[in-house]
A and B are shown apart, each in its own frame.
Chain A
Amino acid sequence: MTSISRRRTLGLIAGIGLVPKEILAADASKSGDDRGPFGLTWGATVAEVRSLGVALSASTSKDFGDAYSATNLPKVIEDATAILLAFGYDNKLWHVAAVGPTIDNDPTGIQVLARFAELSHALTARYGVGKETDIRDNEVFKEPKEYIASLKTGRAHRYVNFNNGSSSAELSIRASSLDAAFWVMIFESNAGSKAFEASKNEHEKDAL
């Protein structure tokens, strides 16, 4: 389905009230959109991000190139507790990860699932409808009160992926114990991701 025909189809569905207006707005976003989350811009350098007043401290994680733990961002989700920015090997922001607070004593996951739904709605407004994956454990941790335990042991998975053509986002629930969990959001610039993969290969060749 082409972009125009998809927009027409969505427009028709919206006419009968099935699709929120914000989803249409997201669909209509420009394919060359370089807006990242939290007031950041994809492709920005470390110096440019610091010029926004953001405090960066180097992270030991090198999975996504040079990475920094960020504070004092221009705007953030209210309950985010940590944000990581990765600039690859060419000093261009391409990957952002945000982590929510650990919600303790919630074996059914009711609280973290409620927050997951809210964040999923907000991401839909920005990136369009996502693809949700909800794998449940039907054998061992199958009781409702064992849901977080099933996530912790890798017997269940819950995440939703978004992609608006220029950037992608993933929202997931991770468990830190058998009854405590938190949300994680990962944003990536599609162009930045391709550039990082290419430079990563070069980087690994050089290392060898």
Chain B
Amino acid sequence: MIRTALLSIGAACVGGTLGLLLVVGIGGPSTADLDKDIGSVANELKLARAQRDLFNGGLLGIETNLWVSTLESTNAMLERKRASLLRGIQLFHEDGRGLQPTNEGQFADIDGQIAKALREANASEAEAARYTGGLIQSMALVSAATSRSSVALLEQQRIVLRYDIGIPDPVRHSGSAETLPKPAQVGKPTSDTDALK
């Protein structure tokens, strides 16, 4: 009896480990990687929100709002991916294909763009710091905020690639009559009044 119980416990442990390995294996990067990225995005989000609170309107306000919104959606993507890993839920793209493993080669181009946008943001911020106000400083700050938004968008793109996160198809979800599937035909359509006669 005791031997049977020990064998059962042993089998359960092996099964559980295999299950865990399968979940981690399917998902690609581990939850530790995700936690690191989530933390990084959270820090950047904190900074972006602080900037947004400084500029409550105008072009600068719009740019910083875009920056915050992009980071918030990146954060939501990462949280969804993390939840799917923890719960063992396999995510699919809308075309039905499963998630694909990461290809490191795809990142070179995007990393180059991120580095360029960061350089531009830093240069604009340095330019803005030379002035205490006025139009020139405002323009430099707008330029810096635009570059920061670009960085946030590119980082989001990198995260989508890295974790192969399925994103909704904007055409399919545009809501236009041409793209939406037609409802099932239950009969010959007529006016409301005529149908009820």
Residues of A within 8 A of B (CB): 22, 35, 37-38, 54, 70-83, 101, 105, 118-119, 121-123, 125-126
Main secondary structure of the interface of A (DSSP, over half): mixed
> How many Å lie between the Cα of A137 and that of B183 in the bound state?
32
Q: Is the CB of A76 within 8 A of B197?
A: no
B192 at the interface (CB under 8 A from A): yes
Q: Decide yes or no: A71 and B184 within 8 Å by CB, A35-B197, A126-B197 being known contacts.
A: yes
Across the interface, B189 reaches (CB within 8 A) one of A22, A76, A105, namely A76
Across the interface, A73 reaches (CB within 8 A) one of B175, B187, B196, namely B187
Q: Is the CB of A75 within 8 A of B187?
A: yes
> How many Å lie between the Cα of A118 and that of B183 in the bound state?
19
Q: Is the CB of B183 within 8 A of A73?
A: no
> Which residues from chain B contact A81 at a C-beta distance below 8 Å?
183-184, 186
> Which residues from chain B contact A78 at a C-beta distance below 8 Å?
189-192
* Chain B, residue nearest A72 (CB): B187
B185 at the interface (CB under 8 A from A): yes
B139-197 with Cβ < 8 A to chain A: 175, 183-197
Main secondary structure of the interface of B (DSSP, over half): mixed
> How many Å lie between the Cα of A121 and that of B196 in the bound state?
11
> How many Å lie between the Cα of A54 and that of B186 in the bound state?
9
Q: What 6 A-B pairs come out closest when comparing CB atoms?
A: A73-B187, A76-B187, A122-B192, A78-B189, A75-B190, A126-B196
Across the interface, A71 reaches (CB within 8 A) one of B175, B185, B194, B197, namely B185
Most chain-A Cβ atoms within 10 A of its Cβ — which of B185, B194, B196? B196
Across the interface, A118 reaches (CB within 8 A) one of B175, B184, B192, namely B192
> Which residues from chain B contact A83 at a C-beta distance below 8 Å?
186-187
Q: Is the CB of A76 within 8 A of B184?
A: no
Q: Decide yes or no: A71 and B183 within 8 Å by CB, A119-B192, A122-B192, A126-B197 being known contacts.
A: no
* Chain B, residue nearest A187 (CB): B196
Residues of B within 8 A of A (CB): 175, 183-197
Q: How far is the CB of A71 from chain B (nearest CB, A)?
A: 5
* Chain A, residue nearest B192 (CB): A122
Across the interface, B193 reaches (CB within 8 A) one of A35, A101, A105, A125, namely A125
> How many Å lie between the Cα of A123 and that of B186 in the bound state?
20
Q: Is the CB of A38 within 8 A of B183?
A: no
> How many Å lie between the Cα of A118 and that of B193 in the bound state?
10
12 residue pairs A–B, Cβ–Cβ below 8 Å = A71-B184, A72-B185, A72-B186, A73-B187, A73-B188, A75-B188, A76-B195, A77-B195, A83-B186, A122-B193, A126-B193, A126-B197
> Which residues from chain B contact A105 at a C-beta distance below 8 Å?
175
Q: Is the CB of A82 within 8 A of B184?
A: yes
Q: How far is the CB of A129 from chain B (nearest CB, A)?
A: 15
Q: Is the CB of A74 within 8 A of B187?
A: yes
> How many Å lie between the Cα of A72 and that of B184 in the bound state?
10
> Which residues from chain A contact B191 at a C-beta distance below 8 Å?
78, 122
Q: Is the CB of A37 within 8 A of B196?
A: yes
